[in-house]
């Protein structure tokens, strides 16, 4: 399993602590440094079963500068959202855990982390 984190994020640190406590085998991806490509974002969205706007941090300064709240949330705008996430990775909700079974979860709660652990 892989976990996308921002080390400055308390939710990410909590998720890592729980994974460690459970003895999970995982890889850390600091996605602000190792920025996901558009294709990687598409793959994670498929695994999550979500759309790009579902994992976008709309309160971030970059989101406000881009005017994301005004962007359409439909199939015609999907690539535009994905491109924005790839160009501004800070907009990606965190942490995201990709499980070994091909699924993924946005692991912002202990329950979500445990769910990911149960899938691996």
pTM of the model: 0.94
pLDDT value of position 119? 81
Rg (CA), the chain: 14
pLDDT value of position 22? 95
pLDDT value of position 106? 97
- Kindly list the catalytic residues: 9
Q: What is the mean pLDDT of each run of 10 residues along the chain (120 residues)?
A: 96 97 96 97 97 96 96 97 98 96 95 90
DSSP 113: H
Measured distance CA(48)–CA(68) in Å, rounded = 21
């Amino acid at each position: 399993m892989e976990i996308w984190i921002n080390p400055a994020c308390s939710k990410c640190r909590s998720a890592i602590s729980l994974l460690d406590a459970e003895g999970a085998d995982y890889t850390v991806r600091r996605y602000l440094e190792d920025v996901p490509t558009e294709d990687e974002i598409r793959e994670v969205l498929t695994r999550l079963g979500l759309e790009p706007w579902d994992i976008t941090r709309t309160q971030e300064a970059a989101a406000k500068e881009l005017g994301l709240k005004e962007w359409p949330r439909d199939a015609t705008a999907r690539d535009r959202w994905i491109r924005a996430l790839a160009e501004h990775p800070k907009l990606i909700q965190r942490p995201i855990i990709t499980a070994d079974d091909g699924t993924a979860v946005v692991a912002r709660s202990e329950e979500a982390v445990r769910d990911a652990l149960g899938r691996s």
